[in-house]
Structure 1
């Protein structure tokens, strides 16, 4: 269950950090985290092929897709 924020009890300084967002991002980040990796590794070639074919979630190379773009 998502925790709801009671904005009337939050100071304006804290509200500005959240920028109106009410969702919490992975690892409890208050803003959209950015991923700086350009390549992603897999346990074996079969797993890599599944990702390239869209049969399994994942990323191959940041110019094509990456976790930051997924969030935006």
Structure 2
């Protein structure tokens, strides 16, 4: 849906973001500042997400590992 609107969604890797923090103290203000710095410096650690075609093949999931995974012919 977001791709249809031309919006690119980035999902960050929380462990790598935490390692980039200079201080151990985490506040909303410090966290927001860190995320902004990582984005501005092009160092934001992203987690890869499947392409929209691949996500469409998966269909809705009712829970984590609830049964055998069905795949479509194009995947």
Instruction: Give the TM bin, normalised by the shorter chain.
Output: under 0.3
TM-score, scaled to structure 1: 0.24
TM-score calculated relative to the size of structure 2: 0.23
Higher share of residues assigned strand: 2
